[in-house]
């Protein structure tokens, strides 16, 4: 095919990467820990985990996992926010040959139960703050091992004692839980040091992650990401950065959650490969604390979603942060607004670079040149990546004409876990992936997204699927019908709103919102409920969300 985007590539960026340069995430960690052993790898609350210490802890964790009978290909869920335990659990599990199931700590019991049952996870690592949720679903899952950790467990004493005391007793952020067979992660790591770790041979085709994402059905599906998929995306991103960074490792601040595929690859994996220090922010919503961390030390890289950038720009003290070392600000997960990009540059002096990808592509597909001004596009296809704009019949469309964006490259997933029917809907002959996004490519090869074929709602970079919200809403005894759509919001990009036909006229907006909150993560809960006598439908009875969206824009 004619890769017209290559003409716009920055100098030094190759059209192809060599996947053989990195075959597995185990190899990535081995190299990083050997090359950068004495350098800081992760930092939290001022405590540093060096690459050497990361090597020791992940070996111990891998050895323990093997000792309890977990074998290559078994699934382990990681239900952790951004804390030092996350890279230890992630890389330790991978070293044991396990498949990691990244799990949102904010999941309700219903959401967690689906993910555990669907993945068949036999083990889970969870922060004690969320152990009460695991307690509710454990009897209905295949879990054999539940490992629980407190926020401060990997911090040095006495800081660890202080942090855990504050979280448990001052802030009261740990609800009561009781899981008789749960084991403290600290005890696991201690026991693992006395065990022998058997290195598990890993190749590019081995499964590394089940990264869950939704679909048009609203049922969360596990995108099967192999070691080769993720390593290719790391090499693609490294090639794109080119000479933007010197050989001397720097510092990045990670405020977006590592369990999300954006931060997983762009922050955790890529910069471990490069030997950088990763400063972990456990609660990105505490904007004053994030600003304080930014002021504490220079940093060269910062990534986020539009809502985070916007919030930072409105946080007191942000403008006085020293941005003189900042080289790259990367925006992804949702569309970056031009006004936010403009103000970010005014305040920081650094361009906000927009990128685009999907869970199914590990995730990066396109990135703008680092030194380019913001242009509203999601960038150029990165090395070894082909992009085709197609009509509904699968035919290629001319330059400038909108259609479905299709992607092919070494970062494209193997398929959806145990869902061949869903896989067949998105995977086309020749290795092409249908993204469900509508957009066009200009003469220079830049991709511009216009809309989504799916009715998916994007809240602060997280996917919300209408069917899931609607299914919960109609379980309220007073609700007859419901339709969920997106409403633009300056803080989160979009929020969920619900159109409802009632059976019981005494039911209020707050009644429905509270009902949804019991079964849905906070970002999925409707922010507004609009009551109607009937909902617009097609001649076969399908609710026409498009008409509701048009109605909403007229309000």
Say whether 467 sits in a helix, a strand or coil.
Answer: helix
Residues with Cβ within 8 Å of residue 521, at least 6 apart in sequence: 104, 106, 107, 108, 111
* Exposure class string for 255-264: b at 16+ Cβ within 10 A, else e: bbbbbbbbbb
Residue 517: Cβ within 10 Å count: 15
Q: Could you tell me which of 111, 319, 332, 102 has the C-alpha nearest to residue 237?
A: 332
* Conformation bin of residue 379: beta by default, left when phi > 0, alpha when psi is -120 to 50: left
Residue 216's pLDDT is 39
Query: What is the domain class of 457-554 according to CATH?
Result: alpha beta
Residue 456's pLDDT is 80
The domain locations on the chain are 46-202, 457-554
Query: What is the domain class of 46-202 according to CATH?
Result: alpha beta
Residue 306's pLDDT is 85
Per-residue pLDDT of the chain (555 residues; tens, 9 = 90+): 899 999 999 999 999 999 999 999 999 999 999 999 999 999 999 999 999 999 999 999 999 999 999 999 999 999 999 999 999 999 999 999 999 999 999 999 999 999 999 999 999 999 999 999 999 999 999 999 999 999 999 999 999 999 999 999 999 999 999 999 999 999 999 999 999 999 999 999 999 999 998 643 457 899 999 999 999 999 999 999 987 776 689 999 999 999 999 999 999 999 999 999 999 999 988 999 999 999 999 999 999 988 889 889 989 999 999 999 999 999 998 788 888 899 999 999 999 999 999 999 999 999 999 999 999 999 999 999 999 999 988 999 999 999 999 999 999 999 999 999 999 999 999 999 999 888 999 999 999 988 667 678 889 988 888 888 988 999 999 998 899 999 999 888 999 999 999 999 999 999 999 999 999 999 999 999 999 999 988 654 578 888 899 888 887
Q: And the tokens for 524?
A: 């999925």
Residue 455's pLDDT is 79
Q: And the tokens for 230?
A: 């993720």
Output the pTM of the full model.
Answer: 0.89
């Amino acid at each position: 095919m004619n890769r017209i985007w290559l003409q716009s590539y920055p100098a030094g960026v190759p059209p192809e990467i060599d996947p053989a340069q990195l075959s597995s995430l185990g190899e990535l960690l081995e190299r990083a820990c050997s090359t950068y052993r004495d350098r800081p790898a992760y930092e939290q609350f001022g405590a540093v985990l060096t690459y050497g210490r990361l090597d020791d802890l992940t070996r111990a964790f891998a050895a323990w996992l093997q000792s309890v009978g977990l074998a290559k290909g078994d699934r382990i869920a990681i239900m952790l926010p951004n804390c030092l335990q996350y890279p230890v659990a992630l890389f330790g599990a991978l070293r044991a040959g396990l498949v990691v199931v990244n799990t949102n700590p904010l999941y309700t019991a219903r959401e967690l139960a689906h993910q555990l049952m669907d993945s068949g996870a036999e083990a889970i690592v969870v922060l004690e703050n969320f152990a009460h949720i695991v307690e509710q679903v454990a009897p209905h899952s295949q879990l054999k091992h539940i490992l629980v950790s407190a926020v401060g467990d990997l911090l040095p004493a006495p800081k660890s004692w202080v942090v855990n005391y504050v979280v448990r007793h001052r802030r009261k952020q740990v609800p009561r839980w009781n899981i008789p067979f749960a084991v403290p992660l600290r005890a696991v790591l201690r026991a693992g040091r006395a065990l022998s770790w058997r290195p598990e041979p890993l190749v590019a085709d081995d499964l590394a992650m089940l990264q869950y994402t939704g679909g048009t059905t609203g049922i969360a599906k596990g995108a099967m990401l192999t070691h080769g998929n993720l390593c290719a995306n790391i090499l693609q991103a490294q090639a794109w950065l080119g000479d933007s960074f010197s050989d001397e490792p720097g510092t990045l601040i990670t405020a977006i959650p590592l369990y999300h595929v954006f931060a997983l690859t762009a922050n955790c994996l890529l910069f471990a490969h490069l030997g950088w220090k990763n400063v972990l922010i456990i609660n990105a919503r505490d904007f004053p604390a994030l600003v304080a961390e930014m002021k504490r030390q220079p940093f060269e890289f910062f990534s986020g979603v539009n809502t985070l950038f916007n919030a930072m720009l409105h946080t007191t003290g942000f403008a006085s942060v020293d941005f003189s070392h900042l080289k790259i600000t990367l925006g992804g997960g949702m569309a970056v607004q031009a006004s936010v990009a403009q103000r970010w540059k005014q305040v920081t002096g650094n361009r906000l670079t927009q990128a685009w990808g999907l869970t199914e592509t590990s995730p990066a597909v396109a990135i703008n040149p680092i030194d380019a001004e913001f242009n509203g596009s999601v960038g150029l296809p990165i090395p070894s990546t082909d992009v085709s704009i197609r009509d509904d019949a699968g035919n290629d469309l001319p330059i400038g004409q909108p259609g479905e964006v299709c992607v092919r490259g070494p970062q494209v997933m193997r398929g959806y876990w145990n869902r061949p029917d869903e896989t067949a809907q998105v995977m086309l002959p020749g290795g092409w992936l249908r993204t469900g996004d509508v957009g066009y490519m200009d003469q220079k090869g830049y991709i511009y997204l216009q809309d989504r074929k799916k009715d998916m709602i994007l809240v602060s970079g997280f996917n919300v699927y209408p069917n899931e919200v609607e299914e919960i809403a109609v379980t309220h005894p007073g609700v007859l019908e419901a339709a969920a759509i997106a409403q633009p919001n300056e803080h989160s990009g979009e929020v969920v709103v619900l159109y409802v036909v009632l059976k019981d006229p005494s039911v209020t907006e707050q009644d429905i919102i509270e009902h949804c909150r019991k079964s849905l993560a906070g970002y999925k809960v409707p922010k507004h409920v609009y009551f109607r006598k009937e909902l617009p439908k097609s001649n076969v009875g399908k609710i026409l969300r498009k008409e509701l969206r048009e109605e909403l824009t007229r309000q």
